[in-house]
Amino acid sequence: MLAGCVPWPEEATARYRSKGIWQGITLPEMLERTIAEVPDKVAVIDGEMRLTYAQLGEAVDRLAYAFVRRGLRPLDRAVFQLGNGVDMVVAFLGLIKAGVIPVMALPAHRQSEIGHFLAHAEAVAYLIPDVVRGFDFRAMAEELAPNCASLRHVFVSGTPNAGQHDLRAMIAEPAPADIIRETLAARRPDAGEVALLLLSGGTTAIPKMIPRTHDDYVYNCTQCGKATGFRRDIVYLAVLPMAHNFTLASPGILAAFSVGGTVVVARSPTPEAVFPLIERHRVTMVCTAVPLVTSWLNSSVPAQHDLSSLEVLMNGGAKLVPELRRRVEERFGCRFMESFGTGEGLLCNTRYDDPEEVRFHSAGRPISPEDEIRIVDPYGNEVPDGVPGELLARGPYTIRGYYKAPETNANAFTADGFYRMGDVVKRIDGNLYVEGRMKDQVNRGGEKISCEEVEDHILAHPAVSGACVVAMPDPAYGEKACAFVILRPGHSLDFRGLVDFMAARKIAKFKLPERLEIVDSFPISPAGKILRRELRAVIAAKLAAETAAAPATA
């Protein structure tokens, strides 16, 4: 296994293999099974471009071979930052087929995050689009390259700069099919090997990397597909970033590929982009997140389209309130499903046939009978059903450790290998209900913000002597980040000044605080820790008072 990763213990490995939970196939082999069954079925639709399974398989193989010819070797790491589209799908599978491990960065990440990913993974390659919404990724790659000794190749979807490779031209390079086949067969990874590195939602100063093996990820997507009713005639609309576990494999595009379904790519999440696609391609399932559900429900666009094909709208990443779940079913004429999962592994979701009470209120239940769940009190003792406690998880697709992070692992996992999810949940009739969170994180409508990471950026400001970032309630996103700041004597700082300073540090925009509160001191516990809960209460009360005082709008 890739150095720096923690394997499952031998006993668990043997059990998962003997039960056939781990099938011993790689992600590309999962795709190849489908290609053999339905070669002419459409696998991906992206604008006017359509690829059948046979065409997808051929493009993946040709690109994988082109990566090999550029000198990429099995277990090399490649930071992967392509946005939704056919190129993303082909390049992701192409890397994996060549045995290269993609590090799944998000489109929003900037120099600060990408620089860390390149260094931590000692990446030899970086895959990017050319320009998206005015931001030039090629220039970012050029800026980062001198500080990353391992980086040898930049691959561009679109028009590359000098010295960078053109992904589409690579797919078109002439090469005999038998040579491609032989070359790739020689590089076939073991199914127990790491296939990709996901990024953790994060609670630490720098995001952690999550190693997912072929065995575990094939199971993750196929089992999640089963729990969510994937069939060959599924038409899955990919709206959220496909590099995130939810859209990639939970159930996501990989579950669609495992059953021979069709993936439709949405290039934008606006109602104007999404609903015509649902009508045109007879989409059956869309997976989305809190802020998008809110904006779609408030839009007049859905009513102008035929949504009769839509069977399921699934929300994940953050809890959707019961009232909106009900409105989704009423307005869009489909079933609502809630997905409560994590890139580290455990996936829960409500089921199609669950009663309303469960569909509208719960986070659902684990997708696999092999998932082991413990809900514990602060002393580690299991609590009875109905009583909230900390959620711990272990199983065939929940990791046993982060990549190259022994110190973090000592805290993030119990001695017997359970992952501490950091969520407070209760269990009733097997379903989980999310009650709160123990980890220092802001969940901005599904986008995770590590408080410590943002605090470090704020603390770099010369006027700041103390910083504490907490979640504040928000009607559309559920939560947004509020920064409490203590200033150095004689200094001043306003919201604009703080945000401009942080943006200049080149971090993902969604991490910027959306409110600044200057204070003289922080509430401190007897043990000397900042009482974040009190700060959350302060800002929540202040917002409530402001809302009450604001003139009512029509």
371: phi > 0 → left, psi -120 to 50 → alpha, else beta; which? beta
Residue number with CB closer to ligand J2J (283 or 421): 421
Q: How far is CA 504 from the centre of its chain?
A: 25
Taking contact as CB under 6 A, which single stretch among the options 275-283, 323-331, 340-348, 406-414 is the one that binds ligand J2J?
Answer: 340-348
CA distance 354 to 364: 9
List the one residue from 222, 223, 245, 450 that touches ligand J2J (CB under 6 A): 245
319, amino acid identity: K
Query: What angle is formed at CA 315 by the lines to CA 48 and CA 424, rounded to 5 degrees?
Result: 150
CA distance 386 to 369: 21
List the one residue from 448, 457, 461, 532 that touches ligand J2J (CB under 6 A): 448
Binding flags for ligand J2J, 143-182, as an x/- string (CB under 6 A): ----------------------------------------
CA distance 234 to 273: 20
**Residue 367 · residue 348 · CB < 8 Å:** yes
Residue number with CB closer to ligand J2J (108 or 463): 108
403 near ligand J2J, judged by CB under 6 A: no
List the one residue from 160, 211, 291, 341 that touches ligand J2J (CB under 6 A): 341
480 near ligand J2J, judged by CB under 6 A: no
Residue number with CB closer to ligand J2J (85 or 341): 341
Taking contact as CB under 6 A, which single stretch among the options 18-26, 152-160, 333-341, 543-551 is the one that binds ligand J2J?
Answer: 333-341
Taking contact as CB under 6 A, which single stretch among the options 69-77, 242-250, 292-300, 512-520 is the one that binds ligand J2J?
Answer: 242-250
**Residue 393 · residue 368 · CB < 8 Å:** no
Q: What part of residues 185-204 is at the interface with ligand J2J (CB under 6 A)?
A: 201
Contacts with ligand J2J by CB under 6 A: the residue count is 24
Cβ 402 to ligand J2J, closest distance in Å?
12
Cβ 127 to ligand J2J, closest distance in Å?
21
Cβ 139 to ligand J2J, closest distance in Å?
28
Q: What sections of 19-147 are H helices per DSSP? A: 27-37, 53-69, 86-97, 111-121, 137-144
338 near ligand J2J, judged by CB under 6 A: yes
531, amino acid identity: L
Q: Nearest to residue 127, comparing CAs of 157, 162, 100?
A: 157
Backbone Cα Rg of the chain: 23
478 near ligand J2J, judged by CB under 6 A: no
207 near ligand J2J, judged by CB under 6 A: no
Tokens standing for residue 116:
């860390």
Which string of b and e fits 42-51 if b means at least 16 CB within 10 Å? Answer: bbbbbeeeeb
Q: Nearest to residue 271, comparing CAs of 284, 253, 286, 250?
A: 286
List the one residue from 203, 288, 339, 362 that touches ligand J2J (CB under 6 A): 339
Cβ 339 to ligand J2J, closest distance in Å?
4
343 near ligand J2J, judged by CB under 6 A: yes
Cβ 290 to ligand J2J, closest distance in Å?
9
Cβ 252 to ligand J2J, closest distance in Å?
7
β partners of residue 487: 464
Tokens standing for residue 547:
């809302």
319 near ligand J2J, judged by CB under 6 A: yes
Q: Nearest to residue 518, comparing CAs of 477, 546, 541, 489?
A: 489
373 near ligand J2J, judged by CB under 6 A: no
Residues 6+ apart with CB under 8 A from 391: 373, 374, 375, 420, 421, 422, 423, 424, 425, 432
Map tokens 């920064």 to a residue: 483
63 near ligand J2J, judged by CB under 6 A: no
List the one residue from 317, 366, 389, 445 that touches ligand J2J (CB under 6 A): 317
CA distance 273 to 84: 14
Taking contact as CB under 6 A, which single stretch among the options 113-121, 262-270, 443-451, 523-531 is the one that binds ligand J2J?
Answer: 443-451
Residue number with CB closer to ligand J2J (26 or 339): 339
List the one residue from 363, 399, 412, 482 that touches ligand J2J (CB under 6 A): 363
Cβ 245 to ligand J2J, closest distance in Å?
4
Tokens standing for residue 437:
């969170």
236 near ligand J2J, judged by CB under 6 A: no
340 near ligand J2J, judged by CB under 6 A: yes
Q: What part of residues 414-433 is at the interface with ligand J2J (CB under 6 A)?
A: 421-423
250 near ligand J2J, judged by CB under 6 A: yes
Query: What angle is formed at CA 371 by the lines to CA 368 and CA 372, rounded to 5 degrees?
Result: 155
**Residue 13 · residue 7 · CB < 8 Å:** yes
Q: Nearest to residue 287, comparing CAs of 233, 211, 330, 230?
A: 230
Contact residues for ligand J2J (CB under 6 A)?
Answer: 201, 245-246, 250, 316-319, 338-343, 347, 363, 421-423, 434, 437, 443, 446, 448
